[in-house]
Structure 1
Amino acid sequence: MKKPRIKYFYQLIGSHLSILLIALLILSILFVQYVEEFAYEEKAEELERYGEQILRELERPRPGTDLQTYVSLLKAQGIDFIVFDQQSRVLYPFSEAFPPIDLTEEEWNIIEQGETLVVNRDVERFEITMTFVAMPYVSDGELVGGVLLASPVSGTREMVSELNKTLVTAILIALAVALLLSLLLSKLHVSRIQRMQKATSMITNGRYDVNLPETNFDEIGDLSRDFNKMANKLQQSNEEIERLENRRRQFMADVSHEMRTPLTTIAGVIEGLRNNMFEEDQREKGIRLVSDETKRLIRLVNENLDYEKIRSNQVTLTKEEVESEELLEIIQEHLYLQAEEKGDHIVIEPEAGTVIYGDMDRLIQILTNIVKNSIQFTDHGQIFLRAFKEPAHMVIEVEDTGSGIDVEEIDLIWRRFYKTDFSRGSGQFGLGLSIVKQLVTLHEGDIQVESTKGQGTKFTIRLPHKKDPEA
């Protein structure tokens, strides 16, 4: 069975009002008790003051002269008094309101010790609830009795009753004001939470372009700021996932495209050979074509495997100090025939005595890919290989006088399988420069490209020097 839900809005109002009501009730009870005790204490102090005056009158040579004046004066204020002896008998004046005083032994002990007995509320010895004080009467150093003054507590009760009515009215007004404020504040807080709930629903539905108002006022403002950061991160992650998915689809399309042509060629030649469709002098040419296309497929697979190994950090570099002149000569000799086929001339210009710190095999792979790219786009031109030293880096430059690259394509050449229109029919797969970029990064280096359409291209590689172990 589904449990009933209570909206947060009503929870806030209920919590505000309940806290206020409990606080008001506690304060009211404490306040009423304090006022009540204070009123009784004030009444007792008033009775004590009158009692002291009566005792002073009793100490005069003719004590009965002015006592009647006190009787009339105190009667007008609702106060009665008597003078009693040690046997609790009333000596003056006799009144039906005061039967013989029945003091307990404990109360007599207080009077005998010369102290004033104060009873705020007494309901047993009088017909009505009274406040009374009993003060010891000492004559010639001996206790002869006491003076008792009493006053009904009805006046004090009426005052407390009026105070209670006032407090109830004040509580009701306070609750009404608190209810109004609670409605406003609860609506404000709930609206902020509802905005966050709406934003959460948007993210759940795949919409990450949310932006909650940020404030430094309270924790909800901090939560909104963190929520916006989370949404931004999710949006970036989602965009990255989409980019990766697009790259995956593009990769599959490119691989399929690159493999279709050689496989089609191989299948056609094999079918022709099997059906004796080639003349004898064409058979050797067909076999060479199958061999070339097979090597092309193997190269495609190897380049893909190499690229993935580099990207996943599965390649370990064996760095050493390589003489720049030796490295550039190896590239020149290795690609001499390919350059000659295009009518190109490879020129090396190494700075004397300079060394490059890196993996020899990977450096050859980097420069081979770049120079092959330059040969591909250069006809009857020159390709310069330079190496020179800078304070923090060793610089290798590969510059050609070829057709150059469009400005908008410069940042695209590092992409996997990206090929310019000039290379579409060249049989290259567009993986070489991607591998170059990854290998240079693996060497903690940097590679940049400068190119002007129709005037050539220059690749600049900067590799850090070998670190001094004592530094």
Structure 2
Amino acid sequence: MKVKYLYQQIFSHIGVLLAAFIVLSLLFTQYIENLVYTEKTDELINYGENILFELERGEKRPEQVITQYANVLFGRDIQFSVFDEQINLLNPIRWRGPALVLTESEWKRLQSGKTIVSKVDLKRFEKEVSFVVVPYIVRGNFVGGILLTAPIEGTEEMITQINHYLFYAALIALGVSLLLSWLLSEVHVNRIKKIQAATSMVSSGNYHVNVPSSDFDEIGELAKDFNHMVDKINTSMEEIESLENRRRQFMADVSHEMRTPLTTISGVIEGLKNDMIPEEEREKGINLVSKETKRLIRLVNENLDYEKIRSNQVKLMKEEIELEELLEIIKEQLYLQAKEKGNEIFLDVEKGAMVVADYDRILQILINITKNSIQFTTNGTITLRGKMNGHDSVIEIEDTGIGINREEIEKIWRRFYKADLSRRTNPYGEFGLGLSIVKRLVEMHNGEITVKSEKNQGTKFTIRIPILE
């Protein structure tokens, strides 16, 4: 059976309040009842002691003392009897009080000097009364006592009246608590309904929702966590969309990049197979097939290399390397490529500058960046710099090429990203993997790489690698 949360809240509030009020009412009634009966018996004991005191003083005859107090007590509807040790009543005939009716145990207690108190007695007298028996002790000897009784009708009426007031107070409190409980429950339920509605929107695919949050209570914290979750989902969805777009772009790039060399290879092989290529052109065709095959191998290897580096399957063997020697090797390896583009490579290396790195991987980093600089520079210069700066080795590769737009600089590190669609024919790092590999390798050396560039103003890559671990 489904019970709304609103009703659960109201029932729980009312149930707790009602239980608490019933318990408090019972305790209060019992307390008042005990208090009233105790005051009544204390009053009777006080009268009895006063009568005994007057009798003990002996200034008046016993009949006079009894008559004096009888005028007062009978007016308050209090009856009393004075008796001796033989249980003989000493009251004057005119003021004869209630008969003495005590049990054997009560009589023994009385003889031992103890006062007998009964807050409510329903059997021994003609009507329901409270009674006390005060012993009269003279020089340690029991010589009699006084029995005083007072009816309990007035006391019961007062207690009944109190119970009526408590009942009315309970009804009023129940009504007020019901109203307050309803209002508070409505507030909480509405807050929960907002989160429920937002959750339904998220489940239907709308991730641009937000609910009011606070640090006031757990519902507010739940709303805050919900908003945080939605923000995370939005970020994840954006990343998924970006990855999906990049995947599509990657597939398009792969198809484009691999289709051209494969078509060329297929065409040359068919030509050789069917003797459609003249003898003097065969060597040129074979060289073209070899070049395109190497290009395909490089594409595959670059992807495999990136996956190894990304999954930390590459171990670095670090050693001290002279920057001057390292940059000289780069210049020698890429001299011909630079010359084909009309570029010159210059070195500017600080004497004695060193770098602590894996030899093969630092070469890979520098060759990749320098090839990019050569590729996008025509009739310009590429400058390789090396120096020490505090505890870091600093390597700079600066060109005078076409540069990169500022808004695209941070994107060049992404896998498959291309800052310029015209670069699709780039034979070095064809799928935008080159700089992704470079950045990851630099990070594996606990270093950092930054780039500064402006469109048509050239580009400068700066690599910082710490000397000390």
Q: Structures share a fold, TM > 0.5?
A: yes
1:423 equivalent in structure 2: 423
1:174-212 deviation digits (Å, cap 9, x = unpaired): 111111111111111112222222233333334333333
Describe the shift of the 1:144–1:350 C-alpha distance in structure 2 as closer, same or farther (beyond 3 A): closer
Describe the shift of the 1:178–1:404 C-alpha distance in structure 2 as closer, same or farther (beyond 3 A): closer
Alpha-carbon distance, 1:283 to partner: 2.6
C-alpha distance in 1, partners of 2:355/2:380? Answer: 27
2:27 equivalent in structure 1: 30
C-alpha distance in 2, partners of 1:213/1:167? Answer: 43
- Corresponding residue SS for 1:462: strand
Q: Which of 440, 453, 456 is the equivalent residue of 1:454?
A: 456
C-alpha distance in 1, partners of 2:468/2:65? Answer: 121
C-alpha distance in 2, partners of 1:454/1:153? Answer: 112
C-alpha distance in 1, partners of 2:379/2:24? Answer: 102
1:443 equivalent in structure 2: 445
| Higher deviation after alignment, 318-327 or 189-198 | 189-198
Alpha-carbon distance, 1:301 to partner: 0.3
1:290 equivalent in structure 2: 289
For residues 169-318 of structure 1, what are the structure 2 equivalents within 5 Å? Answer: 169-318=168-317
- Corresponding residue SS for 1:424: helix
C-alpha distance in 1, partners of 2:421/2:249? Answer: 17
Query: Structure 2: which amino acid aligns with 1:462?
Result: R
1:345-369 deviation digits (Å, cap 9, x = unpaired): 2222221111111111111111211
Alpha-carbon distance, 1:73 to partner: 2.8
Query: Structure 2: which amino acid aligns with 1:434?
Result: S
1:39 equivalent in structure 2: 36
C-alpha distance in 2, partners of 1:426/1:210? Answer: 44
Alpha-carbon distance, 1:98 to partner: 5.6
- Corresponding residue SS for 1:90: coil
1:80 equivalent in structure 2: 79
1:383 equivalent in structure 2: 382
Query: Structure 1: which amino acid aligns with 2:467?
Result: H
Describe the shift of the 1:117–1:354 C-alpha distance in structure 2 as closer, same or farther (beyond 3 A): same
2:55 equivalent in structure 1: 58
Query: Unpaired segments of 5 or more residues in structure 1?
Result: none
- Corresponding residue SS for 2:312: coil
Aligned sequence identity (%): 57
Describe the shift of the 1:98–1:240 C-alpha distance in structure 2 as closer, same or farther (beyond 3 A): same
Describe the shift of the 1:138–1:299 C-alpha distance in structure 2 as closer, same or farther (beyond 3 A): closer
C-alpha distance in 2, partners of 1:443/1:204? Answer: 44
C-alpha distance in 2, partners of 1:58/1:416? Answer: 117
1:148 equivalent in structure 2: 147
Describe the shift of the 1:55–1:380 C-alpha distance in structure 2 as closer, same or farther (beyond 3 A): closer
For residues 289-368 of structure 1, what are the structure 2 equivalents within 5 Å? Answer: 289-368=288-367
Alpha-carbon distance, 1:420 to partner: 2.3
Alpha-carbon distance, 1:43 to partner: 1.2
CA contact (8 A) 2:63 2:92 kept: no
- In the alignment of these two chains, the number of paired residues is 464
Alpha-carbon distance, 1:28 to partner: 1.1
C-alpha distance in 2, partners of 1:32/1:94? Answer: 41
Query: Unpaired segments of 5 or more residues in structure 2?
Result: none
| Higher deviation after alignment, 204-213 or 315-324 | 204-213
1:463 equivalent in structure 2: 465
Describe the shift of the 1:263–1:409 C-alpha distance in structure 2 as closer, same or farther (beyond 3 A): same
Q: Which of 3, 8, 26 is the equivalent residue of 1:6?
A: 3
- Corresponding residue SS for 2:464: strand
1:58-93 deviation digits (Å, cap 9, x = unpaired): 343522135334333322211111122334333324
Query: Structure 2: which amino acid aligns with 1:296?
Result: R
C-alpha distance in 1, partners of 2:365/2:411? Answer: 18
1:368-392 deviation digits (Å, cap 9, x = unpaired): 1122222222233322212111113
C-alpha distance in 2, partners of 1:235/1:408? Answer: 23
CA contact (8 A) 2:33 2:159 kept: yes
CA RMSD of aligned residues (A): 2.3
| Higher deviation after alignment, 107-116 or 5-14 | 107-116
CA contact (8 A) 1:57 1:67 kept: no
- Corresponding residue SS for 1:92: coil
C-alpha distance in 2, partners of 1:448/1:9? Answer: 59
- Corresponding residue SS for 1:128: coil
Describe the shift of the 1:408–1:55 C-alpha distance in structure 2 as closer, same or farther (beyond 3 A): closer
Describe the shift of the 1:28–1:384 C-alpha distance in structure 2 as closer, same or farther (beyond 3 A): same
Alpha-carbon distance, 1:52 to partner: 2.5
